[in-house]
Chain A
């Protein structure tokens, strides 16, 4: 039960709010904006329609996706959807079902890729321009004070220093997200190292661990990779393993060499490539170097920009590169 005074107060509050909204908003009308959007789409040359970019959970990929998305939206008039998924199986299923159109940065998942190409659901579009370097890294301070650790043959001498509460009486090797390509258990075993792989569980956990190790001068050895924005923030050093040779990683259980440098790939759904969408040709021509990707990623993480703003800023600063994708 509400007394009339209260109700009247409520009523007038609502009326006041509505009035305030009516008068305060000086912006344009919805229909004007709709028309503007239509014109832009028409100017961009037509009917791009929906464009679904798969987004994998690391910042470098976010940079790829929003740059492509920004250009597709602004220049081609596409309706871009960012479909956030774990890499590997889920992504290829999304390509097959039509929930996703492109993977912009495929690191490995050779088996899934080959299967998808074989059954005609996906197309391998080759390099996306960046090179993936996976390897064993230590924080910068450690490389400076104990440069010996940078050679794998000396690692056993320092196993005790790398020991943590999680690694028992062995040294700890910090593995990463379970979904990434990792052979560290095999490498450790085959090189006879006295280390135990402890999986951090994710990129966040790994980055936190390296940041903390650098700040507190803790001993840390772990799986990491380039390109990655964090290289711009804290120094890393790569540990030298027996060099990669063709085929030394063929049998996953017998790997005894460093990771191969990976040419990062673009993969698209067959149906999308055949659709004649202008976005398909954009994806085909699009490339991004390690430096460019790190730059955009740093906008997002170090400068705290939204992915959209970061992409827009980079596109504005690099008109020639963007031009090449559209030509």
Chain B
């Protein structure tokens, strides 16, 4: 078009249109250029300086870390803490879960516990919740896992108590001070990205095995949500309210407790809810060091190769998760209503609650008296469910045997192997330069510092090659996660009915411990990197799908309508309107997907994926490799933070919804 266009004034006084930006080379072209150069250099240098360290080798650095870890040992203070935790947990266990010989039952039998829990459910929330609580507790006993379920509940609640005790003051600090926030955030990142197995190893050195280890690990993992979310809530309190009340002459303390904390209440409770779910999800892994709870039967089912036997306790964990989630949510809604003067007459309510204590007391008394109310009568429900699940799994795996192998081979030979050969068989300096350049292309200048710090740190930890293998699996798994997220996310966003059906499945997929589905996945794909990838996908896809679904649905109806009015097809509507406008959520979903996949790396070590996961698992059993295991853990952390920061920089460049 050679004709010059004449600018017509849009409206009097409007600013002139910005000068057209000079046509810039799009980012993906730069990415291709970097990749091309990388491949070029790689073809000459392939196999040089890959810094490969075999599974049983370790470097001086690793040995030095081992020495430091040995030096930590169990000190007097950790001993006191461990004893304290043990005392608390054992007291609670004696009360509701573990019988103390010669008594055949705990102090309060199952009937009493169910009655108390139901009463609490009614007291903090509603009858509906009380029924949910009662049904959940009865299902624990009905399936024969009463004691393990109570143990898990105890470990979870004790851990949450300590997480709140430590986390709430920290949340206040980061809510009030930017400096504190800047200091605490990297620590939280570290706590959240560090693989739990690495915690287990160190906590084991410091606190020994069993309940103290389980509680300490769980607290460390459950701390970040309450700190982050509650801190955000406190920081986010309307400045208008703060200024107005400041003008009345309040002290800092009065401002905190009368204005900021009450106004952030809802957010703080959301943080508490997230902390509870995080605690529950991690309490399982502590089964590896004899941490009490439902993790133990799940893990022993894994060693017995018995899918069904692991599925039942795994689903009970899901039940407990749903119960705790709904109860805390409903309790917060109810207290909100009551604080606002809603709900029934408080005096009448007190009378109802008080009179309901009578049947509760009767149930407690009876559960201390009659053996059937004390010890849940045994039945073979669990074993029949388990064997049915096994048959079912057997038929599915044998039906899928052929296609699953073909799919595995296609992904492995088509994607996994070529990419791994580029990442892990490049000289380290080439991979370093290539990854740095790609980070800059994707994230811009803001990605420079995190990329340099992350890559240099990984190099210094002496596990470069293993980290590249992990990066490769992470990239491939995330790509597959995003394919699923796009398909299901868009589908859910466009159909309420699909959303209603799929969402609970996703929630369950997120809560059920990976150890449960490792068995069928292993049966399908054998001990390979692909199995680890599938485990990662099962864990990561739900979160990514939900983010995409919410993001696409968040695209304003008016925009979609406008698109529709131009006569676009459904496909055009999705690809030209909804997805581009939901770009922010897509980037976020990818970021979360990557981090979730990374969290499964260690599990990959259990199913033949090798690399960093193997290093961590190996170190857990061989004390003289603790240093290497720690280095592997920190490599995972650095990789996670690197990916997170680069993606965030990319998201900021993409801008909201652009």
Interface residues of A (CB under 8 A from B): 1-2, 6-7, 10-11, 14-15, 18, 21-22, 24-34, 37-38, 41, 57-59, 62, 79, 83-90, 93-94, 97, 99, 111-112, 164-166, 174, 178-179, 185, 197-209, 211-212, 216, 252, 300-301, 304, 306
Contact = CB atoms under 8 A, between A and B. Distances in A.
B571 to A, nearest CB: 35
23 contacts: A14-B356, A21-B373, A30-B103, A79-B101, A85-B288, A86-B621, A88-B623, A93-B209, A97-B74, A164-B528, A165-B417, A178-B55, A178-B605, A178-B614, A185-B54, A199-B55, A204-B519, A205-B527, A205-B531, A212-B526, A300-B304, A304-B306, A304-B309
Interface in B83-135: 101-105, 109, 111, 115, 118, 122, 126-127, 130-131
A109 to B, nearest CB: 9
B617 A179 contact: yes
Interface in B342-378: 342-344, 352, 356, 359, 362-363, 366, 368-374, 377
A212 B404 CA distance: 13
A26 B290 CA distance: 36
A200 B638 CA distance: 26
- Helix, strand, loop or mixed for chain A's interface? helix
B527 A30 contact: no
Contacts of A203: 303, 305
B31 interface: no
B104 A33 contact: yes
Interface residues of B, number: 88
Nearest to B520: A208
A301 B369 contact: no
Contacts of B477: none
Nearest to A9: B127
Contacts of B613: 201
Interface stretch (B218-226, B294-302, B323-331, B451-459): B294-302
A224 to B, nearest CB: 13
Contact of B519 (A94, A208, A212): A208
B303 A199 contact: no
Contacts of B362: 18
Interface in B601-630: 604-610, 613-614, 617-618, 620-624
A165 B413 contact: yes
Given A14-B115, A15-B359, A179-B618, 20 more contacts: A1-B343, A14-B359, A27-B370, A28-B371, A33-B105, A84-B290, A84-B299, A89-B622, A90-B620, A93-B204, A97-B208, A178-B55, A202-B302, A202-B303, A204-B303, A205-B522, A205-B607, A209-B526, A212-B523, A300-B304
A202 B103 contact: no
Contacts of B383: 304, 306
A205 B606 contact: yes
Nearest to A99: B209
B108 to A, nearest CB: 11
Contacts of A21: 111, 363, 366, 372-373
A122 B518 CA distance: 36
Nearest to A59: B304
A85 B377 CA distance: 30
Contact of B608 (A15, A41, A201, A211): A201
A91 B549 CA distance: 47
A201 B527 contact: yes
B300 A206 contact: no
B126 A59 contact: no
A85 B290 contact: yes
A37 B342 CA distance: 53
Given A6-B127, A37-B102, A99-B209, A14 B118 contact: yes
Contacts of B67: none
B210 A99 contact: yes
B209 A94 contact: yes
* In the A-B complex, the 3 residue pairs with the closest CB atoms: A179-B621, A89-B623, A25-B372
A1 B527 contact: no
Interface string B283-294: 000011110000
B280 to A, nearest CB: 20
Contacts of A59: 303-304
B387 interface: yes
A208 B344 contact: no
Looking at B209, B344, B374, B523, which has the most chain A CB atoms within 10 Å of its CB?
B209
B386 A304 contact: yes
Contacts of A209: 522, 526-527
Contacts of A200: 527, 607-608
A223 to B, nearest CB: 12
B139 interface: no
B373 A25 contact: yes
A147 B624 CA distance: 41
Contact of A179 (B122, B363, B417, B622): B622
B56 interface: yes
Interface string B537-548: 000000000000
Contact of A30 (B56, B131, B302, B371): B371
A41 B208 contact: no
B332 interface: no
Given A38-B102, A200-B607, A304-B386, A22 B526 contact: no
A1 B305 contact: no
B110 to A, nearest CB: 10
A204 B608 contact: no
Contacts of A7: 127, 352
Contacts of A93: 204, 208-209, 623
B370 A2 contact: no
Contacts of B111: 21
B62 interface: no
A165 B408 contact: yes
A165 B412 contact: yes
B209 A25 contact: no
Contacts of A212: 523, 526
B527 A90 contact: no
B204 to A, nearest CB: 6
Contacts of A89: 621-624
B530 interface: yes
B401 interface: yes
Contacts of A306: 383
B409 interface: yes
B235 interface: no
A301 B528 CA distance: 24
Contacts of A32: 371
B609 A201 contact: yes
A252 B103 CA distance: 52
Contacts of A179: 617-618, 620-622
